[in-house]
Amino acid sequence: MFLWDPRYFIIALPALLLAFYAQWRVRSTYQKYSRQPNHRGLSGFEVARILLRSAGLDHIQVEETPGQLSDHYDPRKNVLRLSRGVGQSNSVAALGIVAHEVGHAMQDAVNYTPLRIRSGLVPMVTLGSWLGPIVFFVGFLLSGFTGSTAVAWLGLFLFAGTVIFSLVTLPVEFNASSRALQLLRTYQLADGRELQQTKQVLDAAALTYIAALAQSLSTLLYYVFLLTGFSRRD
């Protein structure tokens, strides 16, 4: 339905434009600083091992993972995975990305509450993100025959989990970036200029999470708009 409803695009357009801008900023910032070597000439893998050892997290394994910017920390297996473009690079961009993922490992080690909440939401969000819209639109179509929007509201509440997940993700990512900059500063892996540059890389990445929240929220608002409009017609 929303594919041809102009009202959807009116509601969703700001979030869509923000998402495009966020993706452009991530690519441009990463490309800029991925060409600039860090002053110590350390690769991403070397930085990861230094920071993990310094943080008392020697038990965490560091592995290479396929893809570009697919870097992540897996709390289930205590593994920090770095893409080849980051792990084998000695760039300023790699410094920031690696330190950010180590920041997630530190969150896991201290049972950082927002991280625990986000991890607990994963099963619900995985189900709700694809099932919620289906249930909503089936329920909305049925409401024209039954006069009841109960099924549509159920779909809306299923999808609402994605909004909650996106909201909880923000403090997790912001905190990991804050830890990253502190790690690089404390262990002198980046000078003052490089710290500013890594902050630009991390700020660009953070914008994608803000855009994700805006997109899920705009979709939820559209669902509410449809249901309240239906109720007013009744």
- For 17-41, write each residue's pLDDT tens digit: 999 999 999 999 999 999 999 999 9
Domain count, the chain: 1
pLDDT digits (tens, 9 = 90+) for 38-93: 999 999 999 999 999 999 999 999 999 999 889 999 999 999 999 999 999 999 99
Name the pLDDT band for 230 (thresholds 50, 70, 90). Answer: low
Is residue 88 in a domain?
yes
Is residue 68 in a domain?
yes
Q: Where are the alpha helices (DSSP H) in 35-112?
A: 44-54, 84-87, 92-109
What is this structure's pTM? 0.89
* 233 pLDDT more than 60: no
* 187 pLDDT more than 60: yes
Catalytic residue among 46, 63, 64, 101: 101
Residue 6's pLDDT is: 80
Is residue 169 in a domain?
yes
Instruction: Please give the structure tokens belonging to residue 123.
Output: 């099963």
Is residue 150 in a domain?
yes
Instruction: Count other C-beta atoms under 10 Å from residue 70's C-beta.
Output: 13
* Dist CA 208 CA 127 (whole Å): 22
Domain of 20 in residue numbering reads as 6-233
* 231 pLDDT more than 70: no
Q: Establish whether 63 is a catalytic residue.
A: no
* Dist CA 189 CA 193 (whole Å): 12
Name the pLDDT band for 10 (thresholds 50, 70, 90). Answer: confident
* 2 pLDDT more than 60: no
Is residue 168 in a domain?
yes
Is residue 1 in a domain?
no
